[in-house]
Structure 1
Amino acid sequence: MIIRAAIRSDLGAILRLLRDMGDSAPAQSGTVRMSSAAVRAWTRIESDPERTVLVAERRGQIIGTLDLIVVANLTHDAQPWAVVDNVVVDAAYRRRGIGRALIDDAMTRAAAAGCYKVELLSHETRQGAHHFYLAVGFENSAEGFRRYF
């Protein structure tokens, strides 16, 4: 297995993983429709030097993904911080170290970017994910709030 930055041809597999995470309704016959909105979003993501979508690839198959965003900052001597989001591993490959490898790679990249912290949010109902995040070194140190439009 390798962890690498995603490329445009990975988009369909990434969308499949995100759908399996509960991002949207299941596609018919297991296919993922690549909407023009998704393609436009990917174009913005891949042109942002502060954003990296990572994928875990095994024998040519994308089996995990993670989104890493480095945020410019004015506090902490202008050190940036990072956000990790959309962490998902294909259900058939969970509990095999893939999520840990994705997180480890993201942490290495954040440290190399000079980040003083990495944050992530996880829905309060995802207890299994919370145990995983604690196991890979994150602390439950804040209460999060969201406002949806």
Structure 2
Amino acid sequence: MIIRAAIRSDLGAILRLLRDLGDTTPTQSGTVRMSSAAVRAWTRMEGDPDRTVVVAERRGQIIGTLDLIVVANLTHDAQPWAVVDNVVVDAGCRRRGIGRALMDDAVDRAARAGCYKIELLSHESRGSAHEFYRALGFSDFVEGFRRYL
């Protein structure tokens, strides 16, 4: 398995994985439509030096992904912090260390960027994901709030 930064040709596979988060609409054939909006978003994302979409690849197949953003900061002696989002491992490949490898890579990238913390949000209904994050050393001592626009 290889953990690496995603490239444009990975977009279709990433969108397929993200379907597991419930945000995308599959076509009648079951594939995820690569909309022009998704392509425009990808173009912005790949041009952002503070953002990395990371993928896990095995035998030429993308089997996991996450999104890492490094945020400039004025506190903590102007050290940046990082946020992880959209963590997904293919349903048929879970519990095999792929998520751990993706998260270890994200933590390493954040540390190399000089971040003083890395955080993520996970829906309260995702108990097994919370156990996974705790096992990686994340703590859930903060209450999060969100407002959709």
Give TM-score scaled by structure 1 length. Answer: 0.98
Q: Runs of 4+ in structure 1 displaced over 4 angstroms?
A: none
Do residues 107 (structure 1) and 107 (structure 2) align?
yes
Do residues 41 (structure 1) and 41 (structure 2) align?
yes
Q: Which moved more, 1:106-115 or 1:24-33?
A: 24-33
1:9 is paired with a residue of what secondary structure? helix
2:111 is paired with a residue of what secondary structure? helix
Unaligned 5+ runs, structure 1: none
Q: Distance in 1 between matches of 2:124 and 2:25?
A: 21
Q: CA deviation at 1:26?
A: 3.3
Do residues 27 (structure 1) and 27 (structure 2) align?
yes
Do residues 92 (structure 1) and 92 (structure 2) align?
yes
Amino acid at match of 1:61: Q
Amino acid at match of 2:100: R
Q: 1:33-85 deviations in whole A, cap 9, x for unaligned? A: 10000000000000000000000000000000000000000000000000000
Conservation of the 8 A alpha-carbon contact between 2:25 and 2:32: no
Unaligned 5+ runs, structure 2: none
Give TM-score scaled by structure 2 length. Answer: 0.98
Q: Distance in 1 between matches of 2:22 and 2:47?
A: 26
1:49 is paired with a residue of what secondary structure? coil
1:29 is paired with a residue of what secondary structure? coil
Q: Distance in 2 between matches of 1:11 and 1:26?
A: 15
* Identical-residue share of aligned pairs (%): 83
Q: CA deviation at 1:29?
A: 2.0
